[in-house]
Structure 1
Amino acid sequence: MWYGFIDAQRRLARTIAGERPGNDIEAVPMQIPGTNLGDVAKAFSHWLLRSACAYGEPPPFGIRSVTSGGSRIEIEESVVDSLPVGALRKFTRKRMAAKTGVKWPIMLCAPLAGHHAVMLRETVETLLEERDVFVSDWADARDVPPDAGPLSLDDYVLALERFISTARAHGPPVHVVAVCQATVPALAAAALLTSVLAVPLASISLLGGPIDSRINPTRIDRFATSHTLEWFRDQVIDVVPPPYRGAGRRVYPGFIQQSAMLAAHPERHVRLEAAYWSNWLAGDMRAAAEALRSLNEYAAVLDMAESYFLDILRVVFQEHRLPRNAWSVQGRHVELNALSRTPLCTVEGELDDITGAGQTHCAHTLCGASSPPRDRQMTVPTCNHYDLFTGSRWREAVHPALCRFWREVEDAASSMPVRQHTDRPTRSRRHA
């Protein structure tokens, strides 16, 4: 077991870098040093902390304003619901349009795949240009006491069901957007929720997710199916040590996920590092600050509970329960046909080597759509997995397409009365 040894290294890195409890990590990206010897040491400390994943807390979203229509709009962030598995954050645009022009909000389902939700900070900022945004912000399993339960995949599906219901209770219908691994539990949660509501969700958008990983399997898919759950349990599961609140919990550690990401996509990390150092050396402190912020977010890994990690492998990659119509969540069958009347948009990247071609688009067929409109089944050219929600492809291709989709949905519903629902779905005692 390596967790205790790695954690000791992290603590040593924090000591060397001078991070102390209570440090304002939010201010770090804006404190880019100059080029004297002391500033070089400070730049090195930033590098050491992120390389060792040694930050005591993840970076905050820190979104105070966005630009929309040439104007700055202040953003207010709040936590509107919470569970042991995580919190539901709401980002509210403080300058509101006329009541008739208010756009329905977004419920962004962040993936639980070894990263904190702050990795989607750029995604949230872009969405806030037009709409309020809710985000599922998952907890680090090392900080969740064992008596909170196993934190299984079922727990996360039920959490999303509750979070979506909470978001709907705050006002207009919500457009659900799920990224990467979150597409599977989000689609299941939407199906469970829609089956008990008279009015469906505004829409669902799935970005690069393994809805059916049997279709054009990638290297990751093949690795997941070529090893048993016992192999994963023996090789990558460790125990959280004291003094963390989750001491004793068995987890898939974040430091293993970081190594896996670097091995699978070294070019992304190298590109981010190069952007930071080249701008720093050139004296472009604004560009260096943005690059450092992205690096900190990319290094914000978390531990996943053993139960959730093995459930994902079993349900999604080995048994394919969702596409086989064979998945039940705490005794409730996930019936995707319940979403047959809910507008659905799927987006894939042409160069995505994490989610194979067709794995996300198949959701249309599974949800009962006979022939989805062409613009609701979008494959983005020269787009890899991360480009689906960050960078120029996200801003210039994916986001505009989603905005068109949402406008079409809202225009179609504009002549129909919208009933507000405040009732929440039945949930397990653990979520009470």
Structure 2
Amino acid sequence: MLYALIDAQRRLTRAIAGRPPDECGSEPSAQAPWVTPGKAANAFRHWLLRSMCAFEQAPQFAISSVASNGGRITVDETLVQSLPTGTLRRFTRNPIAPEPAGKRPVLLCAPLAGHHAVMLRETVETLLEERDVFVTDWADARDAPREAGPFSLDDYVLALESFICAAHAQGSPVHLVAVCQASVPTLAAAALLASAQAAPFASVSLLGGPIDTRLNPTLVDRFAGSHTLSWFRENVIDVVPSSYRGAGRRVYPGFIQQAAIIAAHPERHLSLESAYWSNWLAGDMPGAMKALRSLNEYAAVLDMAECYFLDIIRVVFHEHLLPRKTWVVAGQRVETDALRETPICTMEGDRDDITGAGQNHCAHELCKSLPARPDRQLTVPQCNHYDLFTGSRWRDAVHPSLCNFWREVETAALGIRRKRGEASHADRRRQA
């Protein structure tokens, strides 16, 4: 089996390279020995480990503080809920001044599409500048024993339902934000909760999601749609070796996904490598450390369970169950019309070659939501898929638009609560 061979190579690589400092992603100091000009061997070790996907574990988020209102505030990280499919993390701001009334936290739904959730570290840091953040951190299927379940797409939709309710139980409804492939299960989970008249969320925002891949299909859509499930099962699925807790589980291995990601977007990988090595050679150690962090996060790939991966191919790319309104999750039909009163915001990039134009914006019509204004259905200029949640376009265009959307939703909700309070007060006076 290829997986067993690759795993043996990974272990040999770790034996040769050793464990360089910062393997687990912690922030090194400016004097960290492995980034000094005299420690080229350590820089090579990092390159060797990430090129072979040989890190023993993904980098940690390790967000201790963020910029806010011209200064810095500390951040606490806690685990809110753990399920076999993954964990819900909370990042709590410790602001100096009290937060405005009605301010809601964000629940960032990370995609399960190859990378660990830590790839969204920059996204989380930016969101933390204004509000608390919950993040779905999906488990690596190789580390989950087979008796934990098949890990189907249904399992992840139900996990999202549970995470949304757990986040709400922390104090207030959350703003849901789904990135890329996570948009499909997130919209389904939100619809199921709304159908049950239990909607513990304030709004839904979708960034580059493949809601309807029939619209302007990309190369990715055409490839997935033109190959049978049997083809994927025979060509990309392997068995986890005996050295892991998930031994015997059939998975779409992370090393195959990494190869596919680099082949599809070599420019992103090259730009990250170039940023690291150019800063390192120039002696810019802070710049080299920042670039290394991004490289290690991008190289942190995980195994996807066979059941989940094939479900995604079938539901999203073959049968288009969500836009056709025929998707049934755990015996319940996904009724997107239940979200018609929910504020929805969609973001697309005009240079996105993964999610085609209109595939994400169609969520407004699908949910029969409130009239989609231009500021709630935004196509960001000069923006590719990754720019929607990292880099300058994320920071300067996407994030400010989301913040404006959330403030408007919160202002409207606060106005409704005040009117209800005034009406209740008037009723009590009449009864008296």
Q: What band does the TM-score fall into relative to the shorter chain?
A: over 0.9
Question: Residue 19 of structure 2: SS of its match in structure 1?
Answer: coil
2:423 is aligned to none
- Asked if structure 2 preserves the Cα contact closer than 8 Å seen for 1:216 and 1:357, the reply is yes
Q: Counterpart of 1:35?
A: 37
Q: Which amino acid aligns with 2:35?
A: P
Post-superposition CA distance 1:253-277 (Å, at most 9, x none): 0000000011000000000000000
Mapping for residues 263-342 of structure 1, pairs under 5 Å: 263-342=263-342
Q: Any residues of structure 2 matched to 1:56-95 within 5 Å, and which?
A: 56-95=56-95
- CA distance in 2 between partners of 1:286 and 1:77 (Å): 24
Indicate the percent of aligned positions where both proteins have the same amino acid.
Answer: 68
Q: CA offsets, 1:355-388, max 9 Å, x none?
A: 0000000000000036311110000000000000
- Residue 217 of structure 2 corresponds to 217
Q: Which amino acid aligns with 1:243?
A: S
Which residue in the other structure is 1:404 paired with?
404
Separation in 1, partners of 2:204, 2:15: 45
1:179-210 superposed Cα distances (whole Å, 9 cap, x missing partner): 00000000000011122235562000000010
Q: Is the 8 A contact 2:59 2:297 kept in 1?
A: yes
Matches within 5 A, 1:195-274: 195-198=195-198, 201-274=201-274
Query: What TM-score do the two structures reach when normalised by structure 1?
Result: 0.94
Quote the Cα distance in structure 1 between the aligned partners of 2:57 and 2:295: 15
- Find out whether 1:26 has 2:25 as its counterpart: yes
Provide, for residues 305-339 of structure 1, a one-character-per-residue CA deviation record: whole Å limited to 9, x for no partner.
Answer: 00000000000110000000000101011000110
Partner SS, residue 415 of structure 2 = coil
Distance 1:29 1:268 in 2: 24
Give 1 or 2 for the bigger CA radius of gyration.
2
Task: Name the CA shift for 1:352/1:100 in 2 (closer, same or farther; >3 Å).
Answer: closer
Could you tell me which amino acid in structure 2 is paired with residue 83 of structure 1?
L
Residue by residue, what CA displacement relative to the aligned partner does 1:208-261 show, whole Å, maximum 9, x if unpaired? 010000000000000001110000000000000011000000000000000001
Quick one: distance in 1 between partners of 2:321 and 2:416? 36
Residue in 2 aligned with 1:425? none
SS of the residue aligned with 2:248?
coil
Alpha-carbon deviation of 1:111?
A: 0.1
Question: What is the CA–CA distance in structure 1 between the aligned matches of 2:383 and 2:259, rounded to whole Å?
Answer: 23
Tell me if the contact between 2:107 and 2:176 (Cα under 8 Å) persists in the aligned partners: yes
* 1:376-391 → structure 2 map (5 Å cutoff): 376-391=376-391
**Residue matched to 1:189:** 189
Give the secondary structure class of the aligned counterpart of 1:26.
coil
Aligned to 1:159: 159
**1:92-135 alpha-carbon deviations (Å, 9 max, x no partner):** 00226425446210000000001100000000000000000000
Letter aligned with residue 216 of structure 2: N
The alpha carbon displacement at 1:172 in A equals 1.6
Q: Secondary structure at the match of 1:176?
A: strand
Rounded to whole Å, the distance in 2 between the matches of 1:279 and 1:200 is 45
Q: Distance in 2 between matches of 1:309 and 1:131?
A: 33
Report the AA paired with residue 282 of structure 1. Answer: A
> Over the residues paired in the alignment, what is the CA RMSD in angstroms?
1.5
Distance apart, 1:45 and its partner CA: 0.3
Cα deviation, residue 25, structure 1 = 1.9
User: CA contact under 8 A between 2:190 and 2:199: conserved in structure 1?
Assistant: no
Alpha-carbon contact 1:29-1:293 (below 8 Å) kept: no
In structure 2, the CA distance between the partners of 1:28 and 1:401, relative to structure 1 (3 Å rule), is: closer
Instruction: Please identify, of 159-168 and 198-207, the stretch whose mean Cα deviation from structure 2 is larger.
Output: 198-207
CA distance in 2, matches of 1:27, 1:377: 37
Residue 23 of structure 1, CA deviation: 7.8
Structure 1 distance, partners of 2:207, 2:27, is: 31
